[in-house]
Chains A and B, each alone.
Chain A
Amino acid sequence: MSDQRPQRVRVTGPPRYSSGPRNRLGDVHEQTPLGDVFLRSLLKEQLALAFRVLVLIALTLGLLPLVFHLWPDLGDVRVAGIPVAWVVLGGLVYPFLLLVGWRYVRSVERNERDFADLVEGPDPGQSS
């Protein structure tokens, strides 16, 4: 790395002017109908996201006991000399859970940013 690295320059677009109220956070805190709509939409979206994660877990991990119950012969299947149940539940499941969690955090933070943009209105000073 050379020390002649150019200084970071902040690039901003032309100022945009909004016609509505600059900050609608007040609407969310005061119980106006508009604030109600905002909160409902955020709640619905976050809940749907959480629900998707839970369904994914239910359809993968949750089905394993049933699968092994219906086809007990799977117990004899081996991967690299190790029974398949041990490979899946003893090892692979942990990176899988971490990956699901990581993707969830990314999505939920994106939702919150969108909500913030919506509530604050177009405001060049607050954009990230």
Chain B
Amino acid sequence: MNADAVPGLVAVLAVTVTTIAIGTWGLRFSRTTSDFFVASRTVNPRLNASAIGGEYLSAASFLGVAGLLLVGGAEMLWYPVGWTAGYLVLLVLVAAPLRRSGAYTLPDFAEARLGSTVVRSACSLLVVGVGWLYLLPQFQGAGLTLESAIGAPRWVGPLIVGVVVLVNVMSGGMRSITFVQAFQYWLKLTALLVPAMVLLVVWLDDGRPGSPSGSDGAWSVPVAGEGAIGLYTTYSLIIALFLGTMGLPHVVVRFYTNPDGRAARRTTLVVLGLLGLFYVWPPVFAALGRVYGRELVAEGHADVLVLELPRLMMSGLGGELLTGLVTAGAFAAFLSTASGLAIAVSGVITQDVTSRFVGERGPTASVAAAFRLAAVIAVSVPVLVALLSTNIGVARSVALAFAVAASTFCPLLMLGIWWRRLTDAGALAGLAAGGLGAGGAAVLNLVGVEGSGWGAALLAQPAAWSMPLAFATMVLVSLATPSRAPSHARRFLVRLHTPEVLEQAG
């Protein structure tokens, strides 16, 4: 280990210690089962929005986007735009009704809406699948970061992140995680904003050099490649990102911690602002990387652009300090997103699997025990996969998780909330069609299957065909099985859409 490793090491240690400290401090407020799962539903919109932002801005946002922009140019701007716009779609279609439904997880929603335990199980399976698909790149990214920052072997990152997440989730549950994640949003924003500004000043001092490669060409056209395939790929990505957000398990769980539907909407609005504030900075890194970081692209290390750029542009103490700061931000990104996903996946595993072993509906102690057991399962599986599998790129693999969510939970939520004739058979058929379609494509991607031409495009970006397929299947099968429509559907929709003013008055 050399002197280069010191700032990164200090940063990683500081973030780890602070995270555990805040988590432990939050533990003092975590007394009941309700605290454990939903922070007793008393989190105010601003704190909750910071926590959502902290949880949502993953390694893909902090490291991946800048690297993708550097290599791919303007077409990659759709990633941050889609991740933000997804919240707008969530706001207008899902936020308030989902909170009012009283569902803690997506399987809860499916069961309450359709009264079917089979649909519930299918949803649980999908939550765990999407969650693991999303956790995997977080752990892989952690390995990458520690390798770049302190020269540690690849397996160290996943292990450290896995253990810290597990400690936090197991000790405090949702209440303490809320504080941790709110803190991590602001840490991530600072860790991106301050270096970006300093580096911009350095660039100005340098006499505002342009890119050595000259013309912009494809770098400033927000479409993936030439021709119809490029257009398809771009639109498919847009569909996956815009519609997938509402189906991410860790996002849905957060909504239940709002006091009511109105607060859920306000929280979402604040999240929109916080995400926008964050996402204007990765393009700055990419633009500077185009001037100073060409060798990173040549070596295929664009993923670590954010971590390397300070040293490439500044020598001495300044560069070291900024390196420490961005390393801290990156590490916070892994911890917070992984914690959120671990909570969501553990919640589902607790309800559907481990509580049966520990004793269902038991006293608080045994529910917490079931939750802890579930957390171990939720974290250790993706850590193991991350240790064993090869890296396919942080943002790419996150995009696949979005495609699966957009093709399964998005139609389920939209039809479940707005269409009273949805039946359990329809939901199940739609989930199967979308899940097998997008999920199958994701698995093929993970194991490294590549085609050429249209085949490759349809496989790499499945959302544009799998999402409509899932929707159509859900609607058509529901229409074919009208007798299976649950008798309480109407009453349930009333609850979803009745404003809180009336609930209090009535």
Instruction: Say whether A associates with B.
Output: yes
CB neighbors of B among A84-114 (8 A): 84-86, 89-91, 93-95, 97-98, 100-102, 104-105, 108-109, 112-113
What separation, in Å, do the CA atoms of A47 and B501 have in the docked complex? Answer: 20
- Residues in B neighbouring A50, C-beta threshold 8 A: 92-93
- Residues in B neighbouring A25, C-beta threshold 8 A: 502, 505-506
Q: How far is the CB of B220 from chain A (nearest CB, A)?
A: 3
Are the C-beta atoms of B221 and A109 separated by less than 8 Å? no
Partner-binding segment picked from A1-9, A12-20, A58-66: A58-66
Taking a contact as CB atoms closer than 8 A, the residue among A39, A89, A93, A116 that contacts B501 in the complex is A116
What separation, in Å, do the CA atoms of A49 and B418 have in the docked complex? Answer: 13
Are the C-beta atoms of A105 and B502 separated by less than 8 Å? no
Are the C-beta atoms of A61 and B497 separated by less than 8 Å? no
- Residues in A neighbouring B280, C-beta threshold 8 A: 90-91, 94
Are the C-beta atoms of B265 and A105 separated by less than 8 Å? yes
Interface residues contributed by chain A, number (CB under 8 Å) = 56
Q: Tell me, yes or no, whether B343 is within 8 Å of chain A by CB.
A: no
- Residues in B neighbouring A90, C-beta threshold 8 A: 77, 280, 283
Partner-binding segment picked from B17-25, B183-191, B231-239: B231-239
Are the C-beta atoms of A72 and B283 separated by less than 8 Å? no
- Residues in B neighbouring A28, C-beta threshold 8 A: 494, 498
Are the C-beta atoms of B506 and A97 separated by less than 8 Å? no
What separation, in Å, do the CA atoms of A83 and B92 have in the docked complex? Answer: 31
Q: Mark A27-59, 1 if CB is under 8 A from B, else 0.
A: 011010001100100110011011001100100
- Residues in B neighbouring A108, C-beta threshold 8 A: 92, 96, 265
Are the C-beta atoms of B493 and A43 separated by less than 8 Å? yes
- Residues in A neighbouring B494, C-beta threshold 8 A: 28-29, 35, 39
Q: How far is the CB of B501 from chain A (nearest CB, A)?
A: 5
- Chain B, Cβ-Cβ closest to A126: B505
Are the C-beta atoms of A101 and B268 separated by less than 8 Å? yes
Q: Tell me, yes or no, whether B88 is within 8 Å of chain A by CB.
A: yes
Are the C-beta atoms of B218 and A75 separated by less than 8 Å? yes
Among B77, B230, B266, B491, which residue has the most Cβ atoms of chain A within 10 A?
B77
Given contacts A43-B493, A64-B222, A90-B283, contact A112 B235 (CB under 8 A): no
What separation, in Å, do the CA atoms of A85 and B75 have in the docked complex? Answer: 9
Q: How far is the CB of B498 from chain A (nearest CB, A)?
A: 7
- Chain A, Cβ-Cβ closest to B284: A90
Among A89, A100, A109, A113, which residue has the most Cβ atoms of chain B within 10 A?
A89
Q: Tell me, yes or no, whether B216 is within 8 Å of chain A by CB.
A: yes
What separation, in Å, do the CA atoms of A95 and B216 have in the docked complex? Answer: 26
Q: Tell me, yes or no, whether B258 is within 8 Å of chain A by CB.
A: no
Taking a contact as CB atoms closer than 8 A, the residue among B77, B78, B221, B269 that contacts A72 in the complex is B221
What separation, in Å, do the CA atoms of A50 and B222 have in the docked complex? Answer: 27
Q: How far is the CB of A123 from chain B (nearest CB, A)?
A: 9
Q: Mark B100-129, 1 if CB is under 8 A from A, else 0.
A: 000000000000000000000000000000
Taking a contact as CB atoms closer than 8 A, the residue among A23, A26, A75, A100 that contacts B221 in the complex is A75
Are the C-beta atoms of A85 and B89 separated by less than 8 Å? no
- Residues in A neighbouring B78, C-beta threshold 8 A: 89
Are the C-beta atoms of A101 and B272 separated by less than 8 Å? yes
Interface residues contributed by chain B, number (CB under 8 Å) = 53
What separation, in Å, do the CA atoms of A74 and B81 have in the docked complex? Answer: 19
Q: Tell me, yes or no, whether B302 is within 8 Å of chain A by CB.
A: no
Taking a contact as CB atoms closer than 8 A, the residue among B220, B235, B268 that contacts A86 in the complex is B220
Are the C-beta atoms of A68 and B498 separated by less than 8 Å? no
Are the C-beta atoms of A76 and B231 separated by less than 8 Å? no
What separation, in Å, do the CA atoms of A29 and B498 have in the docked complex? Answer: 10
- Residues in B neighbouring A68, C-beta threshold 8 A: 221-223
- Residues in A neighbouring B218, C-beta threshold 8 A: 75
Q: Tell me, yes or no, whether A69 is within 8 Å of chain B by CB.
A: yes
- Residues in A neighbouring B493, C-beta threshold 8 A: 39, 43
Q: Tell me, yes or no, whether B363 is within 8 Å of chain A by CB.
A: no
Q: How far is the CB of A68 from chain B (nearest CB, A)?
A: 5
Given contacts A105-B266, A113-B501, contact A94 B276 (CB under 8 A): yes
What separation, in Å, do the CA atoms of A124 and B418 have in the docked complex? Answer: 32
Are the C-beta atoms of B231 and A65 separated by less than 8 Å? yes
Q: How far is the CB of A42 from chain B (nearest CB, A)?
A: 6
Q: Tell me, yes or no, whether B132 is within 8 Å of chain A by CB.
A: no
Among A61, A62, A85, A95, which residue has the most Cβ atoms of chain B within 10 A?
A85
Q: How far is the CB of A101 from chain B (nearest CB, A)?
A: 5
Are the C-beta atoms of B283 and A94 separated by less than 8 Å? no
Given contacts A25-B502, A62-B238, A126-B505, contact A69 B223 (CB under 8 A): yes
What separation, in Å, do the CA atoms of A65 and B165 have in the docked complex? Answer: 39
Q: Tell me, yes or no, whether B62 is within 8 Å of chain A by CB.
A: no
Q: How far is the CB of A51 from chain B (nearest CB, A)?
A: 9
- Residues in A neighbouring B217, C-beta threshold 8 A: 75
Q: Tell me, yes or no, whether B393 is within 8 Å of chain A by CB.
A: no
Given contacts A31-B491, A94-B276, contact A119 B88 (CB under 8 A): no
7 contacts between A and B (CB under 8 A): A28-B498, A68-B222, A83-B219, A91-B283, A93-B81, A94-B279, A113-B501
The 9 closest A-B pairs by CB, nearest first: A94-B276, A83-B220, A112-B499, A89-B77, A75-B221, A90-B283, A50-B92, A85-B74, A25-B506
